[in-house]
């Protein structure tokens, strides 16, 4: 009979899976929110001994998409607030 699984390993695998799922969803929705959350879960999984690299990368990509999407919105609001070009 195999030994019972280590709870720390189970938590790391769960965190890595959550990170991957949030990274994928974050590519399409709520980039600014889900990107950092995915990164956080990936970092926690890595501290517990799991690689979690796909979730980490997708979290950073999601965050970058969110920032790049937010920049034109902020610039547009600033231009509107100052009376145009």
* pLDDT tens profile 22-62: 999 999 999 999 999 999 999 999 999 888 999 999 999 99
Q: What is the mean pLDDT of residues 55-77?
A: 95
For the chain, what is the total number of helices (H) and then of strands (E)? 3, 0
The CA distance from 41 to 10, in Å, is: 13
* Beta carbons of 59 and 39 less than 8 angstroms apart: yes
Does the pLDDT of residue 77 top 90, yes or no? Answer: yes
Of 28, 11, 85, nearest to 62 by C-alpha is: 28
Residue 47 domain-assigned (yes or no)? yes
Q: How confident is the model at residue 6 (pLDDT cuts 50, 70, 90)?
A: confident
- Comparing CA positions, the residue from 59, 33, 34, 31 lying closest to residue 46 is 59
Looking at the structure of the chain, the number of domains it has is 1
Provide, rounded to the nearest whole percent, the portion of the chain with pLDDT above 90.
78
2 in a structural domain:
no
For 46, the domain range is: 7-81
Does this model's pTM top 0.85? My answer is no
């Amino acid at each position: 009979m195999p030994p019972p699984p280590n709870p720390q390993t189970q938590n790391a695998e769960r965190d890595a899976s959550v990170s991957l799922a949030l990274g994928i969803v974050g590519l399409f929705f709520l980039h600014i929110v889900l990107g950092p959350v995915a990164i956080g879960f990936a970092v926690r999984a890595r501290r517990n001994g799991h690689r979690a690299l796909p979730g980490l990368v997708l979290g950073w990509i999601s965050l970058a998409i969110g920032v790049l999407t937010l920049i034109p919105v902020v610039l547009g609001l600033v231009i509107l607030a100052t009376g145009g070009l």
